[in-house]
Amino acid sequence: MIESNDRIKRISSKYSNNSHNNVHEALTFSSEYDHNNGNEIQSVSISQIVIRSDFANEPSEKQSKIILERFNEGIKDRAFTDSPVLGRALPRLDVSYYALAHRNQISELFDPRGQRFGTVYSADPTAVIEYRGQISKTCRYFGEFGKHVLNVPSGHFAKAMTKNRPIIYGEGPHVIIDPTFEFDETTGFVNQQSPFINHSTINILRVPSGKIAKVWIGTQPLILESRREPYVFTDAQFKLVENEDHKQIGYDKYFINSSSTFMEHGSIKRIIPHTGEVAITYNNGNLTIIPTPKDGKPVIIDSPTHNFEGFIQTSLQTCLFPSKETKQQAIKDNKSATNDEINLKIFQTRDSLRVGVVLVVAFRIVDPQLALTKLGKEGIINHIENVSFADMGKAIQLSTLQEIMYFHDTKPSTNFDDSVQTIQDRVKSHLARDLLEYGIELARLQIETIKVLDIEIAKKLAGQSVTSAEYTTKQATLVKEYDIKTTEARLKAETDNIALEQKGKSIIAEAQAKLQSAQKQAEALLVTAEAQKKVQEMQGELYTKYPILAEIELAKIKSDSLKNATLYITPQDAGNFMNSPLVYFDRILGNQNQVKK
C-alpha cells in the first residue's frame, strides 16, 4: 500500500475546519463531563489520527517482498540486474541487507538474497545510474528522491511532516511515496505511553489514573479527567498548562492530583467538599452553599460569574478564647499590657474581685446559609467569642468568687429558663439561644483557666487549696486503708468458708460411701437368700420327682446324727435290726423324741 497525502489531507482538513466547533461542543458539555465519561470533549479518536501499517503482522519474508513491490512500483527502466556479467558487478551482500540505487533520481530497492548482482550498464549518455549502498532490512528509516521506508518500533509512534502538515504513523513498516515527506530519525520516534505527545497541531494527551489536566483551546479552558483512551486534539491553539509546582519533588509536570478539593482553570471550578464541610460560592453575587456530593463525583462549575470563596466546617469545632487575633489586638491596643491582660479575659465578680478566665467553646454550624448570611465567613468565630465573653461577663458580675470556682457543669441545658440562678445555666442557656439564632449549635462551654488577679486573695485561696489538698490526701489515705482492711477481712472469710465447705463435702462423701457399702451388703444377702430359696425349691422338685433321692438324703441325715451315738441292741431286737436297720433306727429316733417331750 502506498500511503499518499490524500488520506492525510482529508483527515487534517476535516478536523482543522471543524476544530472550533469541537471546542465549542466540548465546552458546552464540560460541566456534564463526569456523567458522560467525557464523550462530549473527545471529538477525534487515536485511530483517526495514527496511520496503521497494513502488513505489520505479516512474516518477515512477506514484509520484505511487500516493501520491494511498493518501493519499486511503476519503475520501467531498472537500475539493478541479477546478472553482473551484463552490468557493473557489485560486492556480495549479506541476506539481511537491501541494495539501494537510483536511475535518473528514481530510487530502486533490490534484495540480492546473498547472490551476486550488479547495476545495469546503459549506453544512453542521459541515463545516470548510481549505486547508493547497502541498507539493513531492520533499519528504522531510509529513503531518498520521494521514496521512503519507515519501520516504527513496537510501542512507538513516528512523527513526520508532509506538505508542511503533521502526520503520525503507528508501529510496523510503512512505504511512503511522497516527495514532500520529511522525517527526523533523531526526534521522530516517540513512546506511545508518553503522557503528552505534541506534533505541530496534533496533540495526544494521556491522563493517568488519579490525575487531571488543565488545557486551553484558544481562550476556552478544559479540565480533563483520567480515562483509558487518550485525548486527541487537532488544533493549533491547543495548550497544556504545566503544573506550577512541578519543579518540586513529588509533583508532576503536566498533571494535578484528582483528589484536590478545589481547582480553578479559567471560568471552570472543580470542587470536592469533604464530609463535615461545605463549599461557599457566590453565583452572580448570591450565596450558594455546595454540600458534599452524594454521588461521589466532583462538582464542576463553568461560569465566569460563579466564584468560589472557600470551605467552612460543619462538623464539631473547639475554640480557645481569647483567640490569637484577640491577643494580637490587645498587644496592639496596649503595648505595656501584662501577660494576664493579654492571655486572659478579665471580669469583676459581685464581691468586687478581679478574675481572668480562658474559655473553651465547642460548637457546630447547623445552618451554613443562615450563619454566612448574617455573619460572613470571617465573622463567625469573632461573633462566638464576643457573645461568649459577653454572657460570661454578665454571669460573673452576678456571682461571687466561690460560685465561680465551683463552675463544673459544661453542657447547655435544653430548657432555656431565665429563672435558673446558677452561673453555668445562666451562661450556657443564654449563649446557646443566641448562637442558635445564627445557625450555630452550642455543644460545650467550659472555663479552661480561672485566675484571681488580686494577689492577697490569690495567696489565701492558694493556702486554702493546700489545706484542702492535705485533707483530701488524708481522706484518700483513710479510704485506702479501709478498703485494704475490708479486702483482707473479706478474703479471710472467703478462705474459711472454702475450708468449711471442703470439710463438709468430705464428710458427706464418706457417709455416702458407707451408705453405698451397706446397700451393697444388703443386696448381697438378699441375693444369697434368694439363691438358697431357689436351691431348696429345686431340691424339693427333685425329691418329688425322684423319691429314692429323698430317702438317700434322709439316710445321710440319720447317719450324721448317729455318728457319735452308742447303740444298744437287745436280743429281742436283734432280729428286727438285722432284717431292717433303717426301720430300727426310725423306731429308736421316735422313742428319743418321745422321751424329750
Asked whether residue 78 is domain-assigned, the answer is: no
User: Which of 453, 473, 502 finishes a domain?
Assistant: 453
Structurally, the chain folds into a number of domains equal to 5
- Give pLDDT < 70 ranges for the chain: 1-43, 245-251, 405-422, 424-425, 455-472, 561-597
Q: What's the CA gap between 200 and 182, in Å, rounded?
A: 13
Asked whether residue 349 is domain-assigned, the answer is: yes
Asked whether residue 407 is domain-assigned, the answer is: yes
Q: Which residues pair with 105 in a beta bridge?
A: none
Asked whether residue 74 is domain-assigned, the answer is: no
What DSSP letter does each residue of 64-108 carry, written as one string?
A: HHHHHHHHTTT--S-SEES-GGGEEEE----TTEEEEEEETTEEE
Q: List the one residue out of 289, 269, 469 whose CA is nearest residue 368.
A: 289
Percent composition of the chain: helix, strand, coil (DSSP 3-state, to 5): 40, 25, 30
Q: List the one residue out of 443, 369, 37 whose CA is nearest residue 207.
A: 37
Based on the number of CB atoms within 10 Å of its own CB, is 143 exposed (0-12), middle (13-18) or buried (19 or more)? Answer: buried
Give pLDDT tens digits for 458-506.
555 555 555 655 666 777 778 888 888 888 888 888 888 888 888 888 8
Q: Which residues pair with 109 in a beta bridge?
A: 100
Phi, psi of 216 (to 5 degrees): -120, 140
Contacts of 371 (CB under 8 A, 6+ apart): 365, 380, 438, 439, 440
Same domain, 333 and 360: yes
Same domain, 298 and 326: no
Same domain, 441 and 323: yes
Tell me the percentage of the chain whose pLDDT exceeds 70.
Answer: 79
Give pLDDT tens digits for 560-588.
766 666 656 666 655 555 555 555 556 65
> What is the Rg, in whole angstroms, of the alpha carbon atoms belonging to the chain?
59
User: Which of 274, 290, 313 finishes a domain?
Assistant: 313
Q: What's the CA gap between 200 and 118, in Å, rounded?
A: 43
Note the Cα 13 to chain centre separation in Å: 49
CB 156 within 8 A of CB 192: yes
Q: Which residues pair with 199 in a beta bridge?
A: 202
Residue 314 grid cell: 460543619
Asked whether residue 19 is domain-assigned, the answer is: yes
pLDDT score of 104? 92
Note the Cα 92 to chain centre separation in Å: 67
Residue 473: give the domain boundaries.
458-540
Q: List the one residue out of 314, 389, 398 whose CA is nearest residue 356.
A: 389
- 243-276 b/e with 16+ CB inside 10 Å = b? beeeeeeeeeebbbebeeeebebbebbbbbbeee
